C-alpha cells in the first residue's frame, strides 16, 4: 500500500474510533435521562431494553474498531519481525472470532438475565435461520480454510478452474472467493465452495511450466534442417528459459505437410500468450531466411514457392540501385553492380533478432536494404552500442575481409531486410578495383577504433589501416 493511502487509512480509523468512543461515553452518561424520556413516550418494548440495546450497538462499534486495530498491530508485527505475510482469509477469521467473543461478553454483561446458552441450544428458529441463510457462506468459509491449509496454489500463480476453464493469475484468496485476473485484464471471482468441487490446473510461479506451439512444413523440407532452424530461433526469444533448451519434434505426418511442435519453458508463465506469438513470429522469419515453407492446404500447395534470392524474385533493379548507392561500391561499373546484385541474397529479420553474433565465423558482408540495425559489443557483461546503421549502410565486412571471427553483435531494430554478399562476389570486384581494398581498410580501421575501449586503443589510425590493408590482400590472395 502506498504511504499516503496508508496514512489516510490511519487518520480515518482514528477519527472513527474517537467518534464511536465519544458517542458511547455520552450515551452511557446520559442513559438515565434517555430512559426517563422514553418512559414518558413508549411502553413496549420497555425503555430499559431499548437503552441497553443501543448500548450494545455502540459497544459493538467500539469493539469492532478495537478488533481491527488489534488485527493490524498483530499481523503488522508478524510481518515486520518474522516476515510472515498472513493471508486475507486468516486475518478475516481472526477479526470474526475476536469480534464475536467481544460481542458475546458485552451481551452477557448488558443482558445478564438472558441465558445465551439456552437461547442457542433451544432456539429451533435460530438453528433453521443459521442453517439456511449461512449455508453458502459457511460452505465458502470452510472451503476457504481448506484451500489455505492445503495451499494447492498461491497468489501470483496461474490457474485454470473448472469446465469453463477460467484462466488467470491468482490475486487474492479470501474467506468467500478466489479472485483471478484473466489475460484480458478482467477479474473473475470463483466461490471457494465451487472451486473446491472443480478440477483446478495450477502453474506455480517459481516452476518452469512448459508450453507447446504448433507449426508445419512442406513434405519437401528436411526435418533435420527444420528442427535446427526452429530450435535456434526459439531459444533466443524473450521469456524463453535457458535452463531447459526448447524441444522441436514431429507431431504427425499431416494431410498438408509435416506437423511439428515446439515445447519451450517460459520464464514467466503469465506472459505465455505474448511469448507464443513471438515464437510463431520468429519461426516465420527463420523459415523465410532458411528457405523453408509452411504447408498450405493441398489445393494451394503449388501456388507459392518463393525463391530466396531477391533478384530472382524480380526485385533486381531495386537491389542494384541500393548497392550502387553504397559509398564503397560507388566506383563500380554498372556491370559490376549488376553482378553483385545477382549474387546478393536477401534476408528479413524481426525486430530484436540477431543478424550477426560476435565470435561466430563469417564469410559474407551485408548491406541494409530496408530498416535499421544496431552494432553492439559486450563490455563487462553489459551491451555497449557502437553504431546504428541505416538503409544503404553495410556491415560484416571485417570477418569477410580478414577471415577473423565477427567482432560485434548486430541486431535488427525494426523489421529489417539485408542483402548478403559472399566472398566469391567480393573477390571478383577486388580483382578489377584494387583501390576499393584501400578505401575499405580505412573504414575498417575507423570502425575498429569505435569498437576498442579507451584503454586498448593504442595503435594509430594509419598503422591500423595499413595492417588491415595487407591482411585483406593476404586473405583474398591479391598482389601485396
Burial (Cβ within 10 Å: 0-12, 13-18, ≥19) of residue 467? middle
Report, in Å, the least distance between residue 440 CB and ligand CMP: 10
Report, in Å, the least distance between residue 400 CB and ligand CMP: 6
Q: Considering CB under 6 A, how many residues would be counted as binding ligand CMP?
A: 17
Residue closer to ligand CMP, measured from CB, 311 or 410: 410
- The secondary structure of residue 112, as a DSSP letter, is T
Report, in Å, the least distance between residue 90 CB and ligand CMP: 58
Q: Which stretch binds ligand CMP (CB under 6 A): 72-80, 208-216, 255-263, 444-452?
A: 444-452
Q: H or E element: which one contains 95?
A: helix 88-110
CB neighbourhood size of 25 (10 A): 12
Report, in Å, the least distance between residue 308 CB and ligand CMP: 21
Q: Is 408 in the site for ligand CMP (CB under 6 A)?
A: yes
- The secondary structure of residue 270, as a DSSP letter, is G
Determine the straight-line distance between the first and last CA of the chain, rounded to whole angstroms.
Answer: 73
Q: How far is CA 434 from CA 74, 304, 364, 404, 429, in A?
A: 84, 42, 19, 21, 8
Strands 158-161 and 382-389: unpaired
| Strand partners for 172 | 179
Query: Is the Cβ–Cβ distance between 278 and 267 less than 8 Å?
Result: no
Residue closer to ligand CMP, measured from CB, 147 or 367: 367
Residue nearest to ligand CMP (CB): 450
Q: How far apart are CA 316 and CA 223, in angstroms?
A: 32
- Going residue by residue from 339 to 368, which x/- string records binding to ligand CMP, judged by CB under 6 A? -----------------x-----x------
Burial (Cβ within 10 Å: 0-12, 13-18, ≥19) of residue 310? buried
Residue closer to ligand CMP, measured from CB, 91 or 374: 374
C-alpha cell at 196: 473446491
Report, in Å, the least distance between residue 291 CB and ligand CMP: 23
Query: Is the Cβ–Cβ distance between 347 and 289 less than 8 Å?
Result: yes
Report, in Å, the least distance between residue 445 CB and ligand CMP: 10
| Nearest by Cα to 401 from 466, 476, 328 | 476
Report, in Å, the least distance between residue 232 CB and ligand CMP: 18
Residue closer to ligand CMP, measured from CB, 153 or 349: 349
Residue closer to ligand CMP, measured from CB, 371 or 396: 396
Residue closer to ligand CMP, measured from CB, 196 or 471: 471
Distance of CA 212 to the CA centre of its chain: 17
Q: How far apart are CA 336 and CA 330, in angstroms?
A: 11
Residue closer to ligand CMP, measured from CB, 205 or 357: 357
Q: Is 420 in the site for ligand CMP (CB under 6 A)?
A: no
Q: Is 447 in the site for ligand CMP (CB under 6 A)?
A: yes
Report, in Å, the least distance between residue 238 CB and ligand CMP: 23
Burial annotation 95-107 (CB, 10 A radius, 16+ → b, else e): beebbeebbeebb
Report, in Å, the least distance between residue 450 CB and ligand CMP: 3
Phi, psi (deg, nearest 5) at residue 265: -120, 105
Residue closer to ligand CMP, measured from CB, 180 or 365: 365
Residue closer to ligand CMP, measured from CB, 336 or 420: 420
Q: Is 289 in the site for ligand CMP (CB under 6 A)?
A: no
Within 215-234, which residues bind ligand CMP (CB under 6 A)? Answer: none
Residue closer to ligand CMP, measured from CB, 21 or 457: 457
Q: From the list 450, 453, 462, 474, which residue makes contact with ligand CMP (rule: CB under 6 A)?
A: 450
- Going residue by residue from 368 to 407, which x/- string records binding to ligand CMP, judged by CB under 6 A? -------x----------xx-------xxxxx------xx
Q: From the list 451, 457, 466, 471, which residue makes contact with ligand CMP (rule: CB under 6 A)?
A: 451
Exposure on the CB side of residue 116, measured as CA atoms within 13 A:
11
Q: How far apart are CA 236 and CA 241, in angstroms?
A: 9
Chain residues in the site for ligand CMP (CB under 6 A): 356, 362, 375, 386-387, 395-399, 406-408, 410, 447, 450-451
Amino acid at each position: 500500500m502506498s504511504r499516503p493511502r496508508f496514512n489516510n487509512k490511519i487518520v480515518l480509523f482514528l477519527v472513527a474510533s474517537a467518534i464511536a468512543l465519544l458517542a458511547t461515553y455520552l450515551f452511557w452518561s446520559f442513559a438515565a435521562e434517555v430512559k426517563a424520556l422514553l418512559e414518558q413516550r413508549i411502553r413496549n418494548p420497555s425503555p430499559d431494553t431499548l437503552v441497553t440495546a443501543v448500548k450494545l450497538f455502540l459497544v459493538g462499534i467500539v469493539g469492532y474498531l478495537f478488533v481491527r486495530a488489534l488485527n493490524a498491530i498483530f499481523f503488522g508485527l508478524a510481518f515486520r519481525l518474522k516476515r510472515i505475510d498472513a493471508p486475507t482469509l486468516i486475518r478475516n477469521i481472526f477479526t470474526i472470532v475476536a469480534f464475536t467473543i467481544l460481542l458475546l461478553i458485552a451481551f452477557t454483561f448488558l443482558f445478564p438475565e438472558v441465558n445465551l446458552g439456552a437461547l442457542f441450544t433451544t432456539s429451533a428458529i435460530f438453528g433453521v435461520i443459521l442453517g439456511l441463510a449461512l449455508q453458502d457462506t459457511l460452505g465458502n468459509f470452510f472451503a476457504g480454510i481448506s484451500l489455505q491449509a492445503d495451499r494447492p496454489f498461491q497468489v501470483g500463480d496461474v490457474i485454470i478452474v473448472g469446465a469453463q476453464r477460467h484462466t488467470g493469475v491468482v490475486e487474492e484468496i479470501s474467506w468467500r472467493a478466489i479472485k483471478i485476473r484473466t489475460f484480458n485484464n478482467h477479474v473473475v471471482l470463483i466461490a471457494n465452495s465451487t472451486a473446491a468441487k472443480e478440477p483446478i490446473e495450477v502453474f506455480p510461479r517459481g516452476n518452469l511450466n512448459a508450453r507447446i506451439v504448433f507449426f508445419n512444413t512442406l513434405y519437401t523440407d528436411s526435418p533435420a534442417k527444420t528442427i535446427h532452424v526452429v530450435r535456434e530461433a526459439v531459444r533466443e526469444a524473450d521469456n524463453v528459459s535457458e535452463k531447459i533448451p526448447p524441444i522441436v519434434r514431429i507431431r504427425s505426418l499431416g494431410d498438408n505437410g509435416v506437423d511439428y511442435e515446439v515445447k519451450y519453458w517460459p520464464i514467466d508463465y503469465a506472459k505465455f500468450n505474448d511469448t507464443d506469438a513471438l515464437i510463431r513470429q520468429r519461426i516465420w522469419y527463420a523459415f523465410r531466411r532458411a528457405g523453408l515453407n509452411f504447408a498450405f492446404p493441398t489445393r494451394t500447395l503449388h501456388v507459392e514457392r518463393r525463391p530466396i534470392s531477391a533478384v530472382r524474385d524480380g526485385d533486381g533493379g531495386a537491389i542494384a540501385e541500393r548497392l550502387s548507392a553504397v559509398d564503397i561500391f560507388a566506383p563500380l561499373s554498372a556491370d559490376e553492380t549488376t553482378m553483385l546484385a545477382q549474387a546478393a541474397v536477401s534476408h528479413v529479420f524481426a525486430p530484436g533478432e540477431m543478424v550477426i553474433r560476435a565470435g561466430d565465423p563469417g564469410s559474407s558482408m551485408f548491406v541494409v536494404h530496408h530498416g535499421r540495425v544496431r552494432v553492439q559489443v559486450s563490455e563487462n557483461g553489459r551491451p555497449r552500442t557502437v553504431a546504428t546503421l541505416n538503409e544503404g549502410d553495410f556491415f560484416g565486412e571485417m570477418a569477410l575481409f580478414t577471415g577473423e571471427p565477427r567482432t560485434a553483435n548486430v541486431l535488427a531494430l525494426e523489421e529489417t531486410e539485408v542483402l548478403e554478399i559472399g566472398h566469391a562476389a567480393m573477390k571478383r570486384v577486388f580483382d578489377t578495383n584494387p583501390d576499393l581494398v584501400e578505401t575499405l581498410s580505412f573504414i575498417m580501421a575507423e570502425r575498429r577504433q569505435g569498437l576498442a575501449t579507451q584503454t586498448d586503443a593504442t595503435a594509430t589510425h594509419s598503422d591500423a589501416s595499413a595492417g588491415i590493408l595487407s591482411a585483406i590482400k593476404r586473405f583474398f590472395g591479391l598482389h601485396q
